[in-house]
Chain A
Amino acid sequence: MLPPESQSRRDFLKFSALAGLGGTHLVSTAEAKPDPAQLTHLTTDTIGKMRPRPAGNKPVWELTTRPVGKVRIGVIGLNRGSTHVKSGSLLPFVEVVAVCDILDDRAQAQAEIVFKHTGKRPAIYSGDENVWEKMVDRDDIDVVYVATPWEWHKPMAVRAMSLGKHAFVEVNCGVTVDECWELVDASEKYQRHCPILENCAYGEEELFVLNLARQGFFGDLKHAECAYIHDQRNSGTYTFLDKQREWRRHYATFMQGNVYPTHGLGTVSQYLGMGRGDAFKYAVSVSSPEFGLSQLREKTKPNRDRSQDQKFVCGDMNTTIIKTMLGRTIVVQHDNTSPRPYTRGNMLSGSQATFCGYPNRLAVDEDNKHPILDPKEKRNSHSWTYEGDKLTKFMQANAHPLIKKAGNDAKKVGGHGGMDHLMNYRFLDCIRQGITPDMTVYDAASWSCLMDLSDRSVRDGSLPIAYPDFTRGGWKDLKTLPLIS
């Protein structure tokens, strides 16, 4: 870990950001609360362009660090972040050193939880929007978790890395392609990890599919489908028009594409080995009309908080198709205002098998000779070969090593059925061992930037938009993720 930074660090960051981007973007200062509506959106021709690697920066895709006995974490943002505090408190090789939130109540409550589990009370940072900077200044933190509104992610992550800490960033990691480049360049400059906390990749069924895909069970992969379809209009205690959703609703007033791509995209990206032998080539996006939020507002008069004057431009259903360098296709959808059950799609199509989630079902080609299959069993793919109890059994028999090892413990700890804890266990264990975490800053950038790319495509009448290559060619030679255990 680097020694505490000098006072000139902030100026240096600002300067290098301006120099690197021709003055198109400003680093957050202590006085400026970031407004994502003010972020620069690049033109159709420039958004996909690769940027030269700043002199002195080195790739971090195989970054190793000194193994440590205990991983010391600080968590900013204790609504979503509470799940990470909980994981940190329950992992024997982790210490929750500090917790931070604007709301003092939250910070106090989380400190109490840490104390309950560990007997040690973390430092508390609370009260205003800039107190996090003090926490990140500490010299006894290895990893900073960033679990704040999306517009805070990049400023916090970059600062954390500049001060020698790894940044574990909630989804979406960056709001624009510009922000994604800044994350990559900061990670490469300061040689700190910056993984995306994509918990959905650690779900039991996701790891099952990954396990099978890595073993070649699906044959040649051709196509995948994923989504974030979650009716968030009314959560029971508050609606999407209320204060609790204000920062998130703000995005619906100026972004027209898929504002929340990573839960679906992250998972299928790992199946397809994106960034490790394949890369996103371009994305084409189409949005439906906007009805959901406008009609919700009409229905729930008198209007609440500041939603009254907001004009919503984000189409209810966004459908994006990504083409990869190896020719595979990925459908990514987003819809958070329609009356329909939750789904992330989670579909993988190969020459030898097809998996669909929600509900889980697996079709296996009759020619599939994979060793995990019983050669005596007659199968055909005209119906779902495995579903219901039969699939549950098959999934158990072929559980991912990580699930076999830590799945039950994770379920007990909870957090979206256990996937939050499994992810934290895995990421923090990587830091403990000094190895590269499963998800890198290149994943963080390439999955998050679909938010900006899909917006660009929709504004351009659905032109295909070239995907920027954050690995600067490195993806061709990067090895596929081994089956982690």
Chain B
Amino acid sequence: MSLHENPNRRDFLKLGAIAGLGLGLNAIPSADAKPDPRDLKLLDAHDISATRPRPAGNKPVWNLTTKPIEKVRVAVIGLNRGRSHVNSAASIPFAEVVAVCDIIESRAQSAAENVKKKTGKEPAMYFGDEHAWEKMLERDDIDVVFVATPWEWHVPMALKVMQQGKHAFIEVSPAVTVDQCWQLVDMAEKTQRHCSIIENCCYGEEELFVLNLARQGFFGDLKHAECAYIHNLGGGVLWSLGSEGDWRRDYHRFMDGNLYPTHGLGPVAQYLNIGRGDAFKFVVSVSSPEFNLTQYRDKHQPNNGQHKDEKFVCGDMNTSIIKTQLGRTIMIQHDVVSPRPYTRINALCGTEATFFGYPARLAIDADNKHPILDPKEKRSSHEWTYEKEKLTKFMKENQHPLIKKIGELGKKVGGHGGMDFVMAYRMLDCVRQGITPDMTVYDAADWSSILEISARSVKEGSMPIQCPDFTRGGWKTIPPLGIVS
């Protein structure tokens, strides 16, 4: 069922969705259809949980290896967010920015100039209309395409990228609906191309530190994690025309759930080995009332009052709890309108230690005998055993190998304090080596799916919604993410 029927719009997405259900995957975005997220197919509680049979001929890509190459040739669609990826790639010696694409010409030019300045070579530019990207994809000198456009464009673009023989690195959330998640998985398995979610938050210094410790068993048995995307965009970004205000606020008008789950969920999913020994089992979700977008609009009449008839249905604070197959629990929240400081929470609770972010603090059980700890030191977890300078020191001593290698360079290149660069470096290096990138299409699907699943639970009065298994059983034997270096 769609929430918003528009009979005049080409239903290429609906066709793609039906096709994705086993009738032949031929959903290529047509030249005339700009995707309207309100046309997306939403599933009922029963169908949303269904694990779809793998189409004949498709093969899993969780171990996909490709031919190693010396230089990874990169193209980027969407140069607002994507500009950071252009900068990263231009700063990586084994990458080359071949082409850049944006509707707005000046963005394309500015990005191209920047690449020329950094590398001496100017990439090709594609701009001017909503289909320039399709021309770019016809090139045969691109290995990886970064998709950094409004959410509703992600899947149409990524599908075409893979069909054209390139790997897709998709911004977050890669998919808006569970149906779209299946489309991504099936296309990646059909075309044997990588389709990674580029979740930069997994490459923050703090996140890699926690991952490093978790993988070494420092936390003992993991029981619970907490994460969030709490970032007040309600007074700025969400109304800003020519930028996210053009398309992001719209989702608040027809979906009530966690609209942006992956920044918090990605790192935590990696700590818990989701998709690699554990998996999401079900989700319950509850939303608060909606106040702040309406009140801001009424008080300030942004953009000359042109939004006066918009009705917002997305509760200000959405809280979801995910139960995993191994019984662990994850609390995940979304609030982009309330007056409170930014936080992703980033908490991990185990039998031997507890970590919380914002600010970073670590409590260590008195009985924790992990080798990185000084056995002579008396510790107690009744207060934060390490915080502030003491924790900074401990984090430095126990840095993730990736941070040790390129953390400093990342900070210089920038992009959310460096994590954009660290991620781009690592992901492109995987393609260079021909190995599977850290984040796969199954992560893209798992983490994105929480958007529609949380909305479905909210709609059903917080009924638990079982999660579909995009790995079709593979999660039980896929090995945990190694400590990448």
Q: Are the CB atoms of B329 and A321 closer together than 8 Å?
A: no
Chain B positions 208 through 230: 1 when the CB is less than 8 Å from some CB of chain A, otherwise 0: 00000000000011011000000
In this assembly, does A462 line the interface, its C-beta being within 8 Å of a C-beta of chain B?
A: yes
**Residues of the B chain whose Cβ atoms lie less than 8 Å from the Cβ of A462:** 282, 284, 321, 323, 464
Subset of 20 A-B contacts with CB under 8 Å: A223-B316, A284-B321, A287-B329, A288-B224, A288-B327, A291-B351, A315-B223, A315-B329, A316-B224, A317-B223, A319-B224, A329-B286, A335-B224, A339-B364, A339-B365, A341-B384, A351-B292, A354-B340, A381-B341, A384-B341
Task: Considering the complex, give the chain A residue whose CB is closest to the CB of B341.
Answer: A383
- Measured in the bound complex, the distance between the Cα atoms of B232 and A286 in whole Å is 28
| A→B interface (CB under 8 Å) | 219-220, 222-223, 231, 282, 284, 286-289, 291-292, 295, 299, 315-317, 319, 321, 323, 326-329, 331, 335, 338-342, 349, 351-354, 363-368, 381-384, 461-464
Q: Are the CB atoms of A282 and B461 closer together than 8 Å?
A: yes
**Residues of the B chain whose Cβ atoms lie less than 8 Å from the Cβ of A342:** 382
In this assembly, does B339 line the interface, its C-beta being within 8 Å of a C-beta of chain A?
A: yes
**Residues of the B chain whose Cβ atoms lie less than 8 Å from the Cβ of A220:** 289, 291, 295
Given contacts A329-B315, A339-B352, 12 further A-B contacts (CB under 8 A): A223-B319, A288-B327, A315-B329, A316-B223, A319-B224, A338-B349, A340-B349, A342-B382, A349-B288, A363-B341, A367-B299, A462-B321
- Measured in the bound complex, the distance between the Cα atoms of B73 and A314 in whole Å is 53
Q: Are the CB atoms of B341 and A317 closer together than 8 Å?
A: no
**Residues of the A chain whose Cβ atoms lie less than 8 Å from the Cβ of B338:** 222, 349, 351, 354
Q: Are the CB atoms of A464 and B289 closer together than 8 Å?
A: no
Mark out the residues of chain B between 223 and 259 whose CB falls within 8 Å of any chain A CB in the assembled complex: 223-224, 232, 235
- Known contacts A223-B316, A288-B329: does B462 contact A282 (CB below 8 Å)? yes
Chain B positions 255 through 295: 1 when the CB is less than 8 Å from some CB of chain A, otherwise 0: 00000000000000000000000000010101111011001
- Measured in the bound complex, the distance between the Cα atoms of B367 and A299 in whole Å is 9
- Measured in the bound complex, the distance between the Cα atoms of B283 and A250 in whole Å is 30
**Residues of the A chain whose Cβ atoms lie less than 8 Å from the Cβ of B342:** 382
Q: Chain A's nearest CB lies how many Å from the CB of B353?
A: 6
Q: Chain B's nearest CB lies how many Å from the CB of A58?
A: 34
Chain B positions 177 through 208: 1 when the CB is less than 8 Å from some CB of chain A, otherwise 0: 00000000000000000000000000000000
- Measured in the bound complex, the distance between the Cα atoms of B367 and A463 in whole Å is 37
- Measured in the bound complex, the distance between the Cα atoms of B285 and A286 in whole Å is 11
Q: Are the CB atoms of A231 and B351 closer together than 8 Å?
A: no
In this assembly, does B383 line the interface, its C-beta being within 8 Å of a C-beta of chain A?
A: yes
Partner of A461, one of B282, B286, B352, B366: B282
Q: Are the CB atoms of B223 and A289 closer together than 8 Å?
A: yes
- Measured in the bound complex, the distance between the Cα atoms of B321 and A295 in whole Å is 25
| B→A interface (CB under 8 Å) | 220-221, 223-224, 232, 235, 282, 284, 286-289, 291-292, 295, 299, 315-317, 319, 321, 323, 326-329, 331, 335, 338-342, 349, 351-354, 363-368, 381-384, 461-464
Q: Are the CB atoms of A363 and B339 closer together than 8 Å?
A: yes
Q: Chain A's nearest CB lies how many Å from the CB of B474?
A: 23
The 7 A-B pairs at the shortest CB distance, nearest first, are namely A381-B339, A339-B381, A365-B339, A339-B365, A354-B340, A340-B354, A288-B223
Q: Chain A's nearest CB lies how many Å from the CB of B242?
A: 22
- Measured in the bound complex, the distance between the Cα atoms of B224 and A384 in whole Å is 27
Q: Chain B's nearest CB lies how many Å from the CB of A256?
A: 12
Q: Are the CB atoms of B341 and A223 closer together than 8 Å?
A: no
- Measured in the bound complex, the distance between the Cα atoms of B374 and A61 in whole Å is 58
Q: Are the CB atoms of A340 and B321 closer together than 8 Å?
A: no
- Measured in the bound complex, the distance between the Cα atoms of B349 and A295 in whole Å is 15
Task: Considering the complex, give the chain A residue whose CB is closest to the CB of B342.
Answer: A382
Q: Chain B's nearest CB lies how many Å from the CB of A365?
A: 4
- Known contacts A299-B367, A338-B349, A339-B364: does B319 contact A353 (CB below 8 Å)? no
- Measured in the bound complex, the distance between the Cα atoms of B354 and A270 in whole Å is 30
- Measured in the bound complex, the distance between the Cα atoms of B291 and A384 in whole Å is 21
- Measured in the bound complex, the distance between the Cα atoms of B383 and A445 in whole Å is 33
**Residues of the A chain whose Cβ atoms lie less than 8 Å from the Cβ of B351:** 291-292, 295, 338-339
- Measured in the bound complex, the distance between the Cα atoms of B286 and A249 in whole Å is 31
- Known contacts A382-B341, A464-B463: does B316 contact A317 (CB below 8 Å)? no
Task: Considering the complex, give the chain B residue whose CB is closest to the CB of A338.
Answer: B349
Q: Are the CB atoms of B319 and A341 closer together than 8 Å?
A: no
Q: Chain B's nearest CB lies how many Å from the CB of A386?
A: 12
- Measured in the bound complex, the distance between the Cα atoms of B232 and A365 in whole Å is 10
- Measured in the bound complex, the distance between the Cα atoms of B328 and A169 in whole Å is 35
- Known contacts A284-B284, A317-B223, A341-B383: does B327 contact A289 (CB below 8 Å)? yes
**Residues of the B chain whose Cβ atoms lie less than 8 Å from the Cβ of A352:** 339
Q: Are the CB atoms of B464 and A339 closer together than 8 Å?
A: no
Q: Are the CB atoms of B383 and A286 closer together than 8 Å?
A: no
- Known contacts A349-B338, A351-B295: does B329 contact A319 (CB below 8 Å)? yes
**Residues of the A chain whose Cβ atoms lie less than 8 Å from the Cβ of B461:** 282, 464
Q: Chain B's nearest CB lies how many Å from the CB of A284?
A: 5
- Measured in the bound complex, the distance between the Cα atoms of B319 and A348 in whole Å is 14
**Residues of the A chain whose Cβ atoms lie less than 8 Å from the Cβ of B382:** 231, 341-342
**Residues of the A chain whose Cβ atoms lie less than 8 Å from the Cβ of B381:** 231, 339-341
**Residues of the B chain whose Cβ atoms lie less than 8 Å from the Cβ of A381:** 232, 339-341
**Residues of the B chain whose Cβ atoms lie less than 8 Å from the Cβ of A282:** 461-462
